Structure 1
Amino acid sequence: MSKQQQDFKTFMKERQQVAAAYVSGDSGPLGRVVAQESPATFMSPGGGVVKGTKEVWSRYQQDAGRFEPGSTTELEVLDMAAGDTVAYWTGIQKAQARMKGEPEPVANKLRVTEVFRREGDSWKLVHRHADPLTEPKH
């Protein structure tokens, strides 16, 4: 395994912690890993596209506000790779989300692709595409 791949694998452990905080309504840890330099994009599970670092961060903060403490999430990585300046992972994000206004946690499975780039010595999230995982109809 290359140094870049090992570094990204280590980073993905932090990414899991960031995701757990986010689904509990805390966007702060995500703020440390989102891109500060353009471009940045977000394709939300609810549809639509957000472009620009400020706009993407604003949307992440807004969406985190929909969650309540006590939610859980797991990133099931199907594939990931890293080079000198770009990395990605793709897989399934499973959650039991406590949503504001909902009496019970909501089970959720998303197909996710995230792309990261190096900004200084850190990996930064520059693109997230997430949509609901649906079972194929036979």
Structure 2
Amino acid sequence: MTDEIFSAYLTRRKAASDAFVAGDVAPLHEVSTASDPATILGPAGTLVQGAESVNATNAEGSARFTGAERNDLETIHGGEEGDLAWWVGVQRSVVSVEGQDEPVPMDLRVTELYRREDGAWKLFHRHADPLRES
């Protein structure tokens, strides 16, 4: 069961995702950790470790997007227990990417982990890879 503070955080996290695919990484940095450990297992099979590297990678990734026709987060399950929380779902987006003439569909399987830092929830791990419909 999620508490009101974590639910409010997830609302901010969704807004950060919307901003990210519009080319603005600042809201994602606000909801992400600046402390190690931090990781991204990216859709292209990459592994990024360390908060500084994760935040730099997010900035580089966001800079490639120029907008989104759609960016939906479908929750499979999530919750929080103590100072740890998680969200598992599917991100379904249609994004405009620098260098592409047409919008690109981007459906990802996503697992995110969060921890409470100084009373605030922060994203410290994201695993996203392409969704294959079954």
- Deviations along 1:3-26, one digit per CA (max 9) or x if unpaired, are x53321221111111100000110
Query: C-alpha displacement at 1:131, in angstroms?
Result: 0.2
User: Does the 8 Å contact 2:90/2:107 carry over to 1?
Assistant: yes
User: Does the 8 Å contact 1:91/1:111 carry over to 2?
Assistant: yes
Name 1:60's counterpart in structure 2. 58
Q: Secondary structure at the match of 1:81?
A: strand
Query: C-alpha displacement at 1:70, in angstroms?
Result: 4.2
Q: Show structure 2 runs of 5+ residues with no match.
A: none
Name 1:29's counterpart in structure 2. 27
Q: Show structure 1 runs of 5+ residues with no match.
A: none
User: What is the one-letter code of the residue matched to 2:61?
Assistant: D
Name 1:130's counterpart in structure 2. 128
Greater percentage in strand: 2
CA distance in 1 between partners of 2:10 and 2:73 (Å): 9
Q: Secondary structure at the match of 1:57?
A: helix
User: Does the 8 Å contact 2:68/2:93 carry over to 1?
Assistant: no
Q: Secondary structure at the match of 2:91?
A: strand
How many residue pairs were aligned?
Answer: 134
TM-score (norm 2): 0.94
TM-score (norm 1): 0.92
Equivalent residue in structure 1 for 2:111, among 105, 110, 113: 113
Query: C-alpha displacement at 1:71, in angstroms?
Result: 4.4
Q: How does 1:82-101 map to 2 (within 5 A)?
A: 82-101=80-99
User: What is the one-letter code of the residue matched to 1:36?
Assistant: A
User: Does the 8 Å contact 1:23/1:71 carry over to 2?
Assistant: no
Q: Secondary structure at the match of 1:32?
A: helix
User: Does the 8 Å contact 2:113/2:124 carry over to 1?
Assistant: yes
CA distance in 2 between partners of 1:56 and 1:71 (Å): 26
> Is 1:38–2:64 an aligned residue pair?
no
User: Does the 8 Å contact 2:12/2:31 carry over to 1?
Assistant: no
CA distance in 2 between partners of 1:11 and 1:75 (Å): 14
Q: CA RMSD in A?
A: 1.3
